[in-house]
Amino acid sequence: MAGSAAIAAAPLPVGAPAPTFQPGDTWVFDRTHEQGANGYTDERIDLKIESLNSDSMVVGIKADGAPQGFEDHIFGLDWSQSRTFDEKPTIIGRPFSFPMNVGSAWSVDFTDPRQKGTKLSDHVHTDYKVVGWEDVTTPAGVFHALKIETNGFEEVKVVLPASAASSAVTTPSGAAALSQVQRQRIGVVRIELRDKIFYVPSIKYYAKIIQEVYNSDGVRTKRHTDTLVSFKPGV
């Protein structure tokens, strides 16, 4: 149009490439835990990249301001976590799958066969999907984040209390008697898992995550939230 300049709209971000980490990259989060109707705790935690390898990184985690050193954890370069079951490395969590675009989807499925107390095994399945870009407000500022939603479940196979059953038997004298027989039973406890993850490419991690647990009646029993307070890149 005459007398006016054409203004091009800024292009919307398309996706998120794999981040490039540096030792010393540091995040501070406010973390809250809600359980049941009345349970609530909160804390502030620090995360810091201590070292990098070709396919993994060591991330230190500690309570903010705590005098003791960081507790080191191994993560993949996509923030994935793994455990070893029956001498086999197994991915147990992969919140991101780079490069990520709107519509990207992936899954994690594993079974922990280790017995502990009445628990016989633990099967976890999680489906991840990138649903779009969304602004998220945190103490560190407002970020345009790639939103990831998850749907999953955890099925724990457990030993149930033994049940007593009565049965008739015949004694050598011919008289009837009752015998109590203990039978061990196996049950499965299932919970539903729902997460919302807000990944921000400029901070190489999420600015916010909300993780919720629902029981078999569809009632939320737990909620865990991390919200970014600050990010400082390493040098």
Q: What is the pLDDT of residues 46-78, one digit of tens each?
A: 999 999 999 999 999 999 988 888 999 999 999
CA dihedral 20, 26, 30, 32 (to 10 degrees): 70
Q: For residue 15, tell me if it sits in a domain.
A: no
For the chain, how many structural domains are there in total? Answer: 1
pLDDT above 90 for 229: yes
Query: Is 60 exceeded by the pLDDT of residue 172?
Result: no
Residue 179 predicted with pLDDT over 60: no
Q: Please, which pLDDT band fits residue 6 given cuts at 50, 70 and 90?
A: very low
What distance in Å separates the CA atoms of residue 16 and residue 190, rounded to the nearest whole number? 34
Q: What integer is the mean pLDDT of 132-153?
A: 97
Asked if residue 8 belongs to a domain, the reply is no
Residue 134 in any domain: the answer is: yes
Question: Which residues form the domain of 166?
Answer: 24-232
Residue 80 located in a structural domain? yes
Asked if residue 176 is part of any domain, the answer here is: yes
CB atoms within 10 A of CB 221: 16
3-state secondary structure of 203: helix
Number of neighbours of residue 166 by Cβ within 10 angstroms: 8
Residues linked to residue 140 through DSSP beta bridges, in sequence order:
none
Q: Which residue has the higher pLDDT, 14 or 36?
A: 36
pTM: 0.84
